[in-house]
Amino acid sequence: MAPPQSVDISIPQARRIAVDTTGAQIVQEESPATRDSRGIYLPHYIEPVSHIAIDIGGSLAKVVYFTRSNIPISTTPPLSSPSTPFLPPSQSVNSVRPSSPNAGPSSSSSSSSPALNPHSHAPLDPSPLDHRRPTVNGALTPGVLHPNHDGHGRSKRASASSTSLASHPKLRRSSLPAPLPGGLLNFARFETSNIDDLITFLQELIETSATANRVSLARMKRNVKVMATGGGAHMYYDRLRTELGVEVAREDELACLILGLGFVARIPEEVFWFSEELVYKVSHPVEPLPRPSPTPPAYQVTFARPGEDDDVHFPCLVVNIGSGVSIVKVDEDGSFERVSGTSLGGGTLWGLLSLLTDAQSFDDMLLLSERGDNAAVDMLVGDIYGSDYSKIGLKSSTIASSFGKVFKKGANPEERKKSFKQEDIARSLLYAISNNIGHVAYMNAAKYGLDRVFFGGCFIRGHAATISTLSYAIRFWSKGTMRACFLRHEGFLGSIGAWIKNVDGDGNPPTANGVEEEMSELKLS
Amino acid sequence: MAPPQSVDISIPQARRIAVDTTGAQIVQEESPATRDSRGIYLPHYIEPVSHIAIDIGGSLAKVVYFTRSNIPISTTPPLSSPSTPFLPPSQSVNSVRPSSPNAGPSSSSSSSSPALNPHSHAPLDPSPLDHRRPTVNGALTPGVLHPNHDGHGRSKRASASSTSLASHPKLRRSSLPAPLPGGLLNFARFETSNIDDLITFLQELIETSATANRVSLARMKRNVKVMATGGGAHMYYDRLRTELGVEVAREDELACLILGLGFVARIPEEVFWFSEELVYKVSHPVEPLPRPSPTPPAYQVTFARPGEDDDVHFPCLVVNIGSGVSIVKVDEDGSFERVSGTSLGGGTLWGLLSLLTDAQSFDDMLLLSERGDNAAVDMLVGDIYGSDYSKIGLKSSTIASSFGKVFKKGANPEERKKSFKQEDIARSLLYAISNNIGHVAYMNAAKYGLDRVFFGGCFIRGHAATISTLSYAIRFWSKGTMRACFLRHEGFLGSIGAWIKNVDGDGNPPTANGVEEEMSELKLS
């Protein structure tokens, strides 16, 4: 594999992303429940960063922050280590390994062995990690507190001003331990309804950072900026400013979404899809594709190689599946437009299954769905015809009506509910919503002549069945001419974008406000 | 209004519909619960008919049969009688009457006052009519038993053969009361899960007809043919043949659907849409259309005028919403192709609401939904933003996520269910499914360059909110350039088509099998 390169990509407003992604690695997960929130280690990004990005959606708040931890990143695996590939549920975990020479023909296009342990293969954990509040990892490093860092930008700008920060006695902190090269992009997730947990987390992060940097909390706060996006950036703006006591900037969520996609696609092993095999094979079709179903044909995972594949570039369609679904057309120059959407999204699944099952979390619902059989609740073509409806190519196993079998059973809701397994209900609904999104996404991609569809948002959660369904819907409806692309940090595109927004072309926060404030204070003290 | 004409229309396989629809009238309903199953009186259709058409879908079985009743059709209103117009729920029942000179500007395009009492304005009936089994109305009139009828066709063909049926002493039945001119196309509906009820009904119809025609049951049965379509035509083929003891022919459901549409569109006051005002106004837009919502802008109903408007003709898109949804592209010559569909249809609403509410029937669910407020369960843009998301034109009242508010409440499903009103749940789900179908339908119409979308299927049930939602979805997404068309017998298109299939170009059953059998029997006796 060629080394990842720090290439410039086209992003909205012709912004240049200055974060050096050379040698970037996704940190090995500790638990499947945090699959999509593992840190990204950036060994060559040495700039001080003191801003935190949050993307507060209707259901979930996503946090991104950068730390230059003094703790060695022991969990980072070598890229060549053997690991479990990400597979659709119909394949055995051990049946195909991209790194194995016995992987079979479809694995040949895999670029390397990913460190993916999909949620779907995790044992059922009665108290999954995501039920707990995430803990702070490392500390923020405001540049103004580290004037001797070997970067350039804020400290240079400061030294170009009449008062050199570097020469100020209060700012000489040679006793601080020398940081490791680079640092870690951290990810954390909260339920928006538990906004207090998010605020507590941010307070702890700021406090920890003050301690680590050996400055007062008040001073730390003056150097921290929260980049907020998503609807909650507006909804909770006042609370964030008041309770955190830091500057809060609001950014448009779609701009952040596209910016975040542009950045994260540069991280090796971030973007993947289900085998390009079929995409190329379609020019010589052997037989028609089977129709979409909850158990679509299994394909091998392939990772995009940033800097080599052109597959991570614009133009494309971006389908962000949060509580609801936004469908965004992105042009070659990174300009974008929200062209469609549907209210049948993650919030719908979560809401309906919280009425219909005992699952206590979204991940529990996904786990439930894996043990279910949708045919127990869905009306299949075979249930209506007694056979295939071969004249129009509908097999007896095709779902004619999601939940179409339910009303026939029992005299009242309670009796009816007892006739059906929660697992079957979960599987049916997950498939119905995923397939509907895939269908609508395909139609939009076709309408705008786009052949790549990126799926983001916390609905996906790296869940194999969801990815298979979306992937196959795009493949089936487009007759194999389109590719559905996924991301390992799919839920954090908006917050990553908000984080990038505060990094200027020199790898530093674009405004010197924090520095100027600091200087004012110093003058006054 | 010009008199309806019996014009030839293009239908599949270049079949000519020979049923004379001159002067056809839709019989005044007796109950809102039978709104979509009122008879069609055909005063000039005088041919004997002895076939019954059934369309057995996944959830419902629809029956069509023709009777020349000796009972005067007292329920048929004069076309000029004042009656309640069909209105979207946001309009008061009494606020706009197409027949009134005070109807306001939007009513000017209405062709006449329809006899529509939409279900939505009916008082809540604890035991709606559709919970009961429909009763037989009138009798079938096999031509072979009425050789002296004043039509032409079968009896002529019979008399052209070596043995004249008319001269056979057994067939002279001058003591039969003279039938009224024309006859009635009758409609009845059953749950497919209660297939026994359907079979009992058909047995009664055949028995009643035998009595009315004063022939033996065995003889009647030899003259009755069941034209069966839908998946159940295959699933229940053997049962129908065995238990009814009559000939059963199976017909393709999509062919019947399109044929039925072609026929029924010729009936005055059958096809309607929500005001053409906006369709024409769109070339001079004043302000953008508000986004789809459960309370879309109200528009006046306009009825197509068969023979005058060209709006009932092909090409068009036909969206049939039964348990699931089929989307069919129909070309100008009546040839058709199923191009899309979704499993989120009537069965989904019925199934999910039968788990989530105490409603005992589909109509109860529709009634529930009328009293609900979806904002109690749906996550709106305002719930996320605290305001509009004006940058991309999403108002605070726009639904971001259907059921997106649900998961936040309560610790378990039972507690959560108690936090929400069944009415609100019903309204949210009805809207979500209707709007999704409208969206997918629009995208298909746009893809194939079609500007008319006909919605059929028993999901609609003449329900104002459903029609408003579908209508507005098409209008909004197409920026007013497409028209959503509805039918008063929307659920019976397939069965009407199956009925037509057995009527040949001379207005008679296309095969003379029945006659030949009858003659064999006569020879043998």
Q: What is the pLDDT of residues A82-141, one digit of tens each?
A: 232 233 233 322 222 222 223 233 322 233 333 333 333 333 333 333 446 778 877 887
pLDDT of residue A34: 59
- Check whether residue A291 and residue A388 sit in a common domain: yes
Q: Is residue A115 part of a domain?
A: no
Is the pLDDT assigned to residue B299 strictly greater than 80?
no
How many domains, chain B? 2
Q: A405 CA to chain B: closest CA distance, Å?
A: 7
Whether A449 has its CB under 8 Å from any CB of chain B: the answer is no
Give A-chain residues touching B230 at CB under 8 angstroms.
384
For B326-382, the DSSP string reads EEEEE-TTS-EEEEEEES-SHHHHHHHHHHHS---SHHHHHHHHHT--GGGTSEEHH
> What pLDDT digit, counting tens, does each position of B210-225 carry?
998 889 999 999 999 9
Instruction: Using CA atoms of A400, A405, A407, A413 in order, give the dihedral in degrees to the nearest 10.
Output: -130
From B293, which residue of chain A is nearest by alpha-carbon distance? A343
Q: CA B6, CA B266: separation in Å to the nearest integer?
A: 8
Contact B344 A402 (CB under 8 A): yes
Domain of B64: which CATH number?
A: 3.30.420.40
Residue B418 parent element (H or E)? helix B413-419
Is the pLDDT assigned to residue A182 strictly greater than 90?
no
pLDDT of residue B278: 55
**Interacting residues of B106 by C-beta distance below 8 A, sequence separation 6+:** B96, B275, B277, B299, B300
- How confident is the prediction for chain A on average, in pLDDT? 74
Whether A344 has its CB under 8 Å from any CB of chain B: the answer is yes
pLDDT of residue A88: 29
From the list B252, B406, B439, the residue facing A354 with the nearest CB is B406
- Check whether residue B150 and residue B275 sit in a common domain: no
Q: How does DSSP classify residue A420?
A: S
From the list B59, B408, B435, the residue facing A404 with the nearest CB is B59
Q: Are A432 and B343 in contact (CB under 8 A)?
A: yes
Q: Tell me the backbone φ, ψ of residue B249, rounded to 5 degrees.
A: -110, 140
- Check whether residue A422 and residue A475 sit in a common domain: yes
Contact B323 A399 (CB under 8 A): no
Strands B483-487, B452-456: pairing kind: parallel
Is the pLDDT assigned to residue B359 strictly greater than 50?
yes
Strands A483-487, A271-274: pairing kind: antiparallel
Give A-chain residues touching B391 at CB under 8 angstroms.
252
Ramachandran category for residue B214: left, alpha or beta (phi over 0 → left; psi -120 to 50 → alpha): left
Which has the higher per-residue pLDDT, B179 or B54? B54
> What pLDDT digit, counting tens, does each position of A267-284 carry?
988 999 886 565 555 545
Q: Are B49 and B500 in contact (CB under 8 A)?
A: no
pLDDT of residue B177: 45
Give helix A346-356 / helix A422-447 axis angle, nearest 10°: 170
Contact A435 B57 (CB under 8 A): no
Q: Which residue blocks in B245-299 are alpha helix, DSSP H?
A: 253-264, 277-281
E strands of B425-509, at which residues? 452-456, 483-487
Q: CA B181, CA B68: separation in Å to the nearest integer?
A: 8
- Check whether residue A504 and residue A481 sit in a common domain: no
pLDDT of residue B7: 37
A67's tokens: 């730390």
- Check whether residue B209 and residue B251 sit in a common domain: yes
> What pLDDT digit, counting tens, does each position of A203-242 carry?
999 999 999 888 999 999 999 999 999 999 999 999 999 9
Residues 398-437, chain A, touching B (beta carbon < 8 A):
399-408, 412-413, 416-417, 420, 425, 432, 435-436
- State the Cα angle at B108 between B106 and B111, rounded to 5°: 120
> What pLDDT digit, counting tens, does each position of A288-347 carry?
677 788 877 777 788 887 776 554 578 999 999 999 999 999 999 889 999 999 999 999
Quick one: what percent of chain A has pLDDT higher than 70? 67
- Check whether residue B337 and residue B351 sit in a common domain: yes
pLDDT of residue A77: 35
Is the pLDDT assigned to residue B179 strictly greater than 50?
no
From B443, which residue of chain A is nearest by alpha-carbon distance? A443
Most confident of A71-75, B62-66, B166-170: B62-66
- Check whether residue A359 and residue A280 sit in a common domain: yes
**Maximum Cα–Cα distance for chain B, whole Å?**
85
Q: Are A180 and A69 in contact (CB under 8 A)?
A: yes
Q: B416 CA to chain A: closest CA distance, Å?
A: 6
Whether B291 has its CB under 8 Å from any CB of chain A: the answer is no
pLDDT of residue A105: 30
Quick one: what percent of chain B has pLDDT higher than 70? 67
- Check whether residue A238 and residue A322 sit in a common domain: no
Which has the higher per-residue pLDDT, B138 or A237? A237
Which has the higher per-residue pLDDT, B225 or B130? B225
Kindly list the distances between the CA atom of residue B62 and the CA atoms of A59, B24, B491, in Å, as whole numbers in the listed order. Answer: 43, 21, 8
Kindly list the distances between the CA atom of residue B374 and the CA atoms of B349, B371, B397, in Å, as whole numbers in the listed order. Answer: 15, 10, 11
CA B2 to chain CA centroid, Å, is: 25
Q: Is residue A215 part of a domain?
A: yes
Q: CA A99, CA A113: separation in Å to the nearest integer?
A: 5
Which has the higher per-residue pLDDT, A479 or A433? A433
B490's tokens: 């929307």
Is the pLDDT assigned to residue A475 strictly greater than 70?
yes
State mean pLDDT over B141-149: 60
pLDDT of residue B418: 86
A160's tokens: 């170009």
Whether A357 has its CB under 8 Å from any CB of chain B: the answer is yes
Q: Is residue B81 part of a domain?
A: no
Q: How far apart are the first and last CA of chain A?
A: 55
Q: Are B114 and B317 in contact (CB under 8 A)?
A: no
Q: Is residue B111 part of a domain?
A: no
Q: CA A315, CA A452: separation in Å to the nearest integer?
A: 8
> Nearest CA to B70 among B208, B224, B264?
B208
Instruction: Domain of residue B330: give its range.
Output: 271-377+420-487
pLDDT of residue A164: 32
Give B-chain residues touching A346 at CB under 8 angstroms.
401
**Interacting residues of A157 by C-beta distance below 8 A, sequence separation 6+:** A512, A515
Strands B225-229, B51-56: pairing kind: parallel
Written as one letter, the residue type at B351 is G
pLDDT of residue A325: 97
Q: Is residue B95 part of a domain?
A: no
Give A-chain residues touching B344 at CB under 8 angstroms.
344, 402, 432, 436
State mean pLDDT over B445-466: 93
Q: Is residue A107 part of a domain?
A: no
Is the pLDDT assigned to residue B75 strictly greater than 70?
no
Which has the higher per-residue pLDDT, B378 or A8? B378
From A58, which residue of chain B is nearest by alpha-carbon distance? B384
From the list A352, A385, A402, the residue facing B403 with the nearest CB is A352
Q: How does DSSP classify residue A324?
A: S
Beta bridge partners of A25: A41
Whether B376 has its CB under 8 Å from any CB of chain A: the answer is no
B355's tokens: 């788990």
Q: CA B232, CA B492: separation in Å to the nearest integer?
A: 15
Whether B479 has its CB under 8 Å from any CB of chain A: the answer is no
From A326, which residue of chain B is nearest by alpha-carbon distance? B400
Whether B391 has its CB under 8 Å from any CB of chain A: the answer is yes
Which has the higher per-residue pLDDT, B390 or B226? B226
- Check whether residue A281 and residue A359 sit in a common domain: yes
Rg for chain A, CA atoms, rounded: 24
- Check whether residue B504 and residue B357 sit in a common domain: no
- Check whether residue A365 and residue A474 sit in a common domain: yes
Q: CA A287, CA B320: separation in Å to the nearest integer?
A: 29
Contact B343 A439 (CB under 8 A): no
Q: A226 CA to chain B: closest CA distance, Å?
A: 17
Whether B384 has its CB under 8 Å from any CB of chain A: the answer is yes
**Maximum Cα–Cα distance for chain A, whole Å?**
85
Q: A358 CA to chain B: closest CA distance, Å?
A: 6
Is the pLDDT assigned to residue A17 strictly greater than 80?
no
Q: CA A410, CA B326: separation in Å to the nearest integer?
A: 28
> Nearest CA to B426 among B516, B488, B383, B364?
B364
- State the Cα angle at B453 between B449 and B454, rounded to 5°: 150
Q: Which of B401, B434, B458 to mutate to test the interface with A (most CBs of A within 10 A)?
A: B401
Give B-chain residues touching A324 at CB under 8 angstroms.
379, 399-402, 404
B401's tokens: 């996520």
Question: For chain A, what's the residue count?
Answer: 525
Q: Are A91 and A163 in contact (CB under 8 A)?
A: no
Poorest-pLDDT segment among A167-171, A520-524, B406-410: A520-524
Q: How does DSSP classify residue A151?
A: -
**Interacting residues of A388 by C-beta distance below 8 A, sequence separation 6+:** A381, A382, A394, A395, A396
Is the pLDDT assigned to residue B294 strictly greater than 70?
yes
- Check whether residue A477 and residue A411 sit in a common domain: yes
> What pLDDT digit, counting tens, does each position of A378-388 carry?
999 999 998 88
Q: How does DSSP classify residue B87?
A: -
Tokens 């040839």 belong to residue: B335
From the list B234, B404, B420, the residue facing A387 with the nearest CB is B234
Count CA within 13 A, CB hemisphere, residue A417: 16
Q: Is residue B84 part of a domain?
A: no
Q: Which of A407, A436, A442 to mutate to test the interface with B (most CBs of B within 10 A)?
A: A407
> Nearest CA to A17 among A348, A519, A515, A504?
A504
pLDDT of residue B287: 67
Give helix A464-477 / helix A362-370 axis angle, nearest 10°: 70
Q: Is residue B211 part of a domain?
A: yes
Size of interface A-B (CB pairs under 8 A): 219
From the list B354, B392, B405, the residue facing A407 with the nearest CB is B354
Is the pLDDT assigned to residue B239 strictly greater than 50?
yes
**Interacting residues of B371 by C-beta distance below 8 A, sequence separation 6+:** B423, B427
Q: B23 CA to chain A: closest CA distance, Å?
A: 37
Poorest-pLDDT segment among A151-155, B341-345, B431-435, B466-470: A151-155
Whether B478 has its CB under 8 Å from any CB of chain A: the answer is no
Whether cis (ω within 30° of 0) applies to the bond prior to B123 is no
